[in-house]
Amino acid sequence: MRSRGVHALAATALPTLAVCALALVLTGCGQEAGLESAGRAPAAVGPVRLWPDLPPATSPPLDYGETDTERVPGIEVPDNDVHAVDPVAVLQAEVRGHREDRSGADALYAETVRAIERCGTDRARCPVLAPYYRDLTGNGRDELIVGIRMPEQQVAVRVYVAEHGGLTRIMSTADQVVSVELAGRDLIIRAGSAGIPGYEYRTAWSWDEQQGSMLPARDEIVRVKPPGSGVSVVPAPEFVSPSATTAPAPVPPEAGP
């Protein structure tokens, strides 16, 4: 009888609790105060297409080489481990195949090309910076990130992936670099203002599976704090740079002409 009575009490109480819970959501069960309005919600505004009658483009946009990839000739990568590769040897192999290039992803200053060729015998003037390693493609292995100092405060940044026992370059860019940062699987390049005082360019390069290369997925102009001023910097928390694996010490910069 006792067990049956407990079950009967529970069966009677459950509908009451359910009603009270619903009332609590609507008006606050057992409380005098009800829900308070937070004010009028802003109206949702969708995108509006301007000049919808404009004809489509008849020619493709300019190709800046963002999707260009290239197998590095003569470079073998045991077990697809980029840590076993000498970055200087990689750049020397590229220079041999593109020595005369003055534009595109392989373009380097003539004095930079000569300095790279002399890295084996003149390490003090070698423009190749210490390499960094990070899994940027999500393949579970590190990629090789190489920087090259060039004249006019420019730095070339190149990224290589190891595949099928060889090395493929999946990114190449050059600019007057303020800093290069790693944020997750993105490579963030901060460049000079290009004539806009108080601002700098920030480009986030991200791996694109379809193109098989690193693409400038986000490019923006950001206000920065001038040295010694009280002007605040526009925050950009997504550009926080975690630690990365690197070689023990950087290679000294290239000497001027």
Structure-model confidence comparison of residues 246 and 95, the more confident one: 95
253: left (phi over 0), alpha (psi -120 to 50) or beta: beta
Task: Tell me the percentage of the chain whose pLDDT exceeds 90.
Answer: 50
Residue 30 scores a pLDDT above 70:
no
Over residues 204-257, the pLDDT tens digits come to 999 999 999 999 999 999 998 766 655 443 333 333 333 455 544 444 444 443
Give domain status of residue 6, yes or no.
no
End-to-end alpha carbon distance in the chain: 102
What's the distance, CA 155 to chain centroid?
17
Assess if residue 239 is contained within a domain. Answer: yes
Domain count, the chain: 1
What is the average pLDDT across 126-153? Answer: 96
Q: How many residues does this entry show for the chain?
A: 257
Range of the domain at 84: 70-246
What is the pLDDT at residue 45?
Answer: 81
- Say if 39 falls within a structural domain: no
Query: Over pLDDT 70: what percentage of the chain?
Result: 69
Average pLDDT, the chain: 78
Quick check: is 53 in a domain? no
- 44 vs 136, more confident: 136
- The helix (run of H) or strand (run of E) holding residue 230 is none
Q: What is the pLDDT of residues 103-117, one digit of tens each?
A: 566 778 889 999 999
| Position 24 confidence tier, pLDDT thresholds 50, 70, 90 | very low
In a domain, 134, yes or no: yes
Tokens of 121: 């015998």
Decide if 149 is inside a domain. yes
Lowest mean pLDDT among 25-39, 149-163, 231-245: 231-245
The packing angle between helices 87-97 and 110-117, to 10°, is 130
Q: Which residue has the higher pLDDT, 192 or 79?
A: 79
pLDDT at 8 over 60: no
Predicted local distance difference test score (pLDDT) of residue 103: 56
pLDDT digit string, tens, across residues 45-71:
888 999 999 998 887 776 666 778 999
Residue 10 in domain = no
| Confidence category of residue 35, pLDDT binned at 50, 70, 90 | confident
- pLDDT confidence of residue 202: 94
Q: pLDDT-based confidence at 165, cuts 50/70/90?
A: very high
pLDDT band at 79 (very low <50, low <70, confident <90, very high): very high
pLDDT at 234: 38
Let me know if residue 106 belongs to a domain. Answer: yes
- Vertex 251 angle, CA 245 and 252, to 5°: 140
